[in-house]
Structure 1
Amino acid sequence: MKVFSTTCTFDYSWDEVSTANWRKYCPWNDKATHVVGVDTVSRTVDPKTGILRTERLITCDQSVPAWLLSLFGGSTTSHVYEVSYVDPISKKVTMCSTNLTWSNVLNVRETVTYSPSSASPTSHTEFTQEAKITALCGGWQKIKNKVEEASVERFRENASRGREGFETVLEMSRRVFGEQRELEKALL
């Protein structure tokens, strides 16, 4: 197993980030064009804690090498199962996802959290991301290591693009919903 982890700080409040999180695969995010569908499987709110729990199925169109498809079969369409928890009291979003496609070859378990920055809790949000990547290639340790190393590198590249895309979504959300709030204030 190999682990990829990263952190960063977004210059947006937790309220803005936790709201924009639901829009991160929207059409104006040109870094997420591989996401072709997001289906909500279930959504519940715990009446005691107020925690919103959401299960989603994310469908992606991945670039998979032709030799890999011929070796293992399958298609370029892949699915990811995601469970998220939004805790409005502690102001923490936790998202856990795992790949459903190719899981017999490579298992990826990702955890992402968003929480107010300790340095500037009202205007900045801390982002943490960790992915545990395990290749399931039987007893061939050298092959497993190479597959895991390559997967971590690809995950790193995709994570960087994902952060860039989310920054675009955050900026656009602030602009659009800021204008909406200004209009609402003007009408009052």
Structure 2
Amino acid sequence: MKVFSSSCTFDYSWDEVSTANWRKYCPWNDKSPHVVAVDTLSRTIDNATGILRTERLITCDQSAPQWVSSLFGGSATSHVYEISYVDPASKKVTMCSTNLTWSNVLSVRETVVYQRSSTQPTTTTDFHQEAKITALCGGWQKIKNKVEEASVERFRENAKRGREGFETVLEMSRRVFSEQRDLEGQRIQA
């Protein structure tokens, strides 16, 4: 198993980040054209804690490296199952996802946490991402290591693009909400 880990701080409040998170794969995010569908499977709120639990299926057109396709076959369409928890009391979003496609060859278990920054001003949000990547190639340790290393590198590249795209979504959301507040303020004054 190989582990990819990344952290950063977004210069946006937790309210902005947790709201924009649902728009992460929107059309104006040009860094995620591979995401073709996001289907919500279930959504519930725990009455005792106020935690919103959401299950989603994310469909992607993301071709595997040519050598993997030629070795194992398969389609360019892949599916990821995601469970997320939004805790408004602790200002924390936790998202756990796992690949459904190719899961007999490669297991990718990702956890993403957005939490109101405790060390920065409350206008910032800490982000932490961790992916545990395990190649399931039986006893071929050399091949297993190569597959895991290549997968971690690809994950690193995709994570960088994902953060850049999310910054675009955050900026667009901030503009939309700002314009909406301005319009509401004008209506109240009129």
Q: 2:128 aligns to what?
A: 128
Please list, as runs of the form range in 1=range in 2, the aligned pairs for 1:12-27 lying within 5 A after superposition: 12-27=12-27
Instruction: Return the offset for 1:118.
Output: 1.3
Instruction: Return the offset for 1:69.
Output: 2.3
Q: Which aligned runs of 4 or more in structure 1 are off by greater than 3 angstroms?
A: none
Q: 2:73 aligns to what?
A: 73
- Further displaced range: 112-121 or 90-99: 112-121
Task: Give per-residue Cα distances to partners, 1:68-97, cap 9 Å, x unaligned.
Answer: 223212200000000000000000000000
Q: 2:138 aligns to what?
A: 138
Once residues 120 and 68 of structure 2 are traced to their aligned partners in structure 1, the CA distance between those partners, rounded to angstroms, is: 46
1:28 aligns with 2:60: no
**What TM-score, normalized by structure 1, do the two folds share?**
0.98
Instruction: Return the offset for 1:120.
Output: 2.7
**Structure 1 vs Structure 2 CA RMSD:** 0.9
> What one-letter code is carried by the residue in structure 2 that aligns with 1:56?
R
Once residues 65 and 53 of structure 1 are traced to their aligned partners in structure 2, the CA distance between those partners, rounded to angstroms, is: 34
Q: 1:86 aligns to what?
A: 86
Once residues 92 and 121 of structure 1 are traced to their aligned partners in structure 2, the CA distance between those partners, rounded to angstroms, is: 16
Secondary structure in structure 2 of the residue aligned to 1:31? coil
Secondary structure in structure 2 of the residue aligned to 1:38? strand
Q: 2:60 aligns to what?
A: 60
Once residues 33 and 51 of structure 2 are traced to their aligned partners in structure 1, the CA distance between those partners, rounded to angstroms, is: 30
Task: Give per-residue Cα distances to partners, 1:45-76, cap 9 Å, x unaligned.
Answer: 00010000000000000122344223212200
Q: 2:98 aligns to what?
A: 98
Does the CA-based 8 Å contact 2:58-2:79 persist in structure 1? yes
Q: 1:168 aligns to what?
A: 168
Aligned residues: 188
Q: 1:107 aligns to what?
A: 107
Secondary structure in structure 2 of the residue aligned to 1:147? helix
Percent identity, please.
82
